[in-house]
Amino acid sequence: MKKNEVIEKAIEAMNKAYAPYSKFKVGAALLTKSGKIFTGCNIENSSYGASVCAERVAIFKAVSEGEYEFELLVVATKTDEPSPPCGICRQVISEFSNDLPIILVNEKGSIIETNIKELLPFPFLKEKLDGR
């Protein structure tokens, strides 16, 4: 698997973050089952609630290009300890996978390996809508 390439792309994406308000830069890189890599960074806005996380930018870029099946998500931050996706992003990830491997990295080379099941063990799933 192209694990190292995906990690590098997440770090590159982090350096493109537009985060003038929080100064907290996040990068994401998403490897699709078809072998493509989609990147994202957080993009903030003066109307703070209009800001979007790096993970969702990467996922939405992939989905908008017709890719729905993912192999690996890498999230890069500049924190001392690698930092996990927020709750909204966990929900968005779980829309597309119930077992996606997720690697959290920082610039110092620390790595935490997890997956969406561990980060969101009891998700709200689209199947629940069938019970209406």
Residue numbers at the binding site for ligand THU (CB under 6 A): 19, 22, 24, 26, 42, 44, 51, 53-55, 85-86, 89
What does DSSP assign to residue 104?
A: E
d(CA 117, CA 115): 6
Q: How far is the CB of 129 from ligand THU (least distance, A)?
A: 25
Q: Which is nearer to ligand THU, 37 or 89 (CB)?
A: 89
Selecting among 8, 44, 55, 95, the annotated active-site residue is 55
Number of other residues whose CB lies within 10 A of the CB of residue 20: 9
Residue indicated by tokens 């997956």: 115
Q: Which is nearer to ligand THU, 35 or 48 (CB)?
A: 48
Return the biggest CA–CA distance within the chain.
48
Evaluate the CA torsion angle 63, 121, 100, 5 in order and state its sign. Answer: positive
Residue 118 annotated as catalytic = no
Q: Which is nearer to ligand THU, 23 or 126 (CB)?
A: 23
Q: How far is the CB of 88 from ligand THU (least distance, A)?
A: 8
Q: Which residues are catalytic?
A: 55
